[in-house]
Amino acid sequence: MNNRERIAPFRWADYFETGFGEVDAQHRKLVDLVNVLAQRAATGGEIQPAELAHVLDGLGTYAAHHFTTEEALMERVGLDPRHVRAHRQSHADFVAQVEAMRGTADPTRAVPVLYRFVTSWLTFHILDTDQSMARQLREVERGATAEAAFEAAASHGSDPGNMALIAAVRNLLGLVAERNGELARINTSLEQRVAERTAELSTANQTLRQTLDSLQETRVRLLEADKLAAVGQLAAGVAHEINTPLGYVASNLGTLREYAERLLALADTAERLVSGGASADVWAAARSGTDLDFIREDLPTLVAESNRGLGQVSDIIHALQDFASPGPTETRELPSAKILEEAIHATSGSRRPGQALVRSYGALPALQGNPTLLVEAFKALLDNAFRALEGAVGTIVVRAMPRGESLVVEVEDDGCGMDEATRARIFEPFFTTRPVGEGRGLGLSSAYRIVLSHGGHLEVSSSPGKGSCFRVTLPLPAPR
């Protein structure tokens, strides 16, 4: 049924009329109220406490005015006291029942209770008692005695068919009201269950999204680890292959220098022997053709440069071996602040005049890790920060703070910064922005590998001309 359709079980008809205008006008208002309550009951709508109080106040006002009108009319005409007493008692019962309904606590029951009360009043008072009153009033006005009019009214029985039909309509609408109220409660329960299920699905969806994000992060980290492992394996192989011939070259170069020195000494001896002899001119010509003086002067320089070159190659080999080696594997609880202080002290020689290092941390929780590796990682970050200042005046800030179940360490500089292309490759092995021969491109990649091996992650934010901030996040040990 469309809730917008008006339900009016009672329509004003002749059988409602008493023939007394003011009484009938008041009865018509009560019929209208019954229809309004029927509409409300049929739709299952609840009545709020304030609205119920308003309706009951209206019934109280109706009772005070209507009952005064009827009782005054009965007194003026002089009806039989037996009818007047019973009529007044029904009025008093009505007022008492209205007051009793003010204590109705269940809003789902208020409308059916109120509807049944008013329809009962309409059925058993207006269509019965008030009609009896009207018949007696008319009989007395025609000249009958009050007693005779009362006896005649008492013998006038009510139509049982009408009474039964009215009672059936009232009960039917009451049943509809109860069913609609039950449906409303079921709907509310369903809405609550849907809301709870929706909340559960939302929570599960959020958990799934977090799991997927975590899996994606783990996948990226595994790919990075695989890439670093492959590069490390390559570096180890290259270092091994180069290291052996490098040893030969270094050894042979030392021997070659010794041989050269012995040959030069032999040439000096030969020059002394032939000096002033018959072969002096021949020796001088041979000596001049071999540019012996230049060789004597240049040979130590060539050997020294070669040794320095071999030293650089050796340093590169050692760097490759360090990068390829997993390093010490033992871990223990470490004082975080001490790790940072060791890294700062180890890189203090890289500072130039006018360059300041600011510590921004107090007491810090302990870390679980390898002290040698972690110090190396922070040394690489600090060394990179000092180089980013490019020898100019600047500031490096080292800050650390616990955040949830992690320790976050930031190394920030106000140096040259990086563009997006450089920032994307900064942790790649062998990538460097320094001039050829001044950097191997293994410091930041090693730091990244070390942090990764400790279950953390390393990220950077940077802009050209605005400096860089490297952020290390390391897991804290679980509380004991």
Please, what is the average pLDDT of the chain? Answer: 79
Please say if the pLDDT value at position 9 is more than 70: no
Please say if the pLDDT value at position 105 is more than 60: no
Please say if the pLDDT value at position 4 is more than 50: no
More confidently predicted of 197 and 223: 197
- The answer to whether the beta carbons of residues 373 and 450 sit under 8 Å apart is yes
Q: What is the pLDDT of residue 113?
A: 73
Q: What percent of the chain has pLDDT over 90?
A: 16
More confidently predicted of 364 and 217: 364
DSSP letter for each residue of 79-146: --HHHHHHHHHHHHHHHHHHHHGGG---HHHHHHHHHHHHHHHIIIIIIIIHHHHHHHHHHHHTT--H
Please say if the pLDDT value at position 342 is more than 90: yes
pLDDT tens for 67-90 read 888 888 889 989 999 988 988 888
Q: Cα separation of 152 and 147, whole Å?
A: 9
pLDDT tens for 438-475 read 556 678 888 888 898 888 999 999 999 889 999 999 99
In this prediction the pTM is 0.44
Q: Cα separation of 163 and 377, whole Å?
A: 98
Q: What is the pLDDT of residue 440?
A: 60
Amino acid at 94: F
Q: Cα separation of 26 and 91, whole Å?
A: 14
Q: What is the pLDDT of residue 41?
A: 64
pLDDT tens for 355-375 read 899 999 988 999 999 888 899
Average pLDDT over residues 426-443: 67
Pairing label, strands 468-475, 355-360: unpaired
- The answer to whether the beta carbons of residues 470 and 458 sit under 8 Å apart is yes
Of 254-268, 396-410, 460-474, the one with minimum mean pLDDT is 254-268
The H or E element that residue 339 is part of is helix 336-346
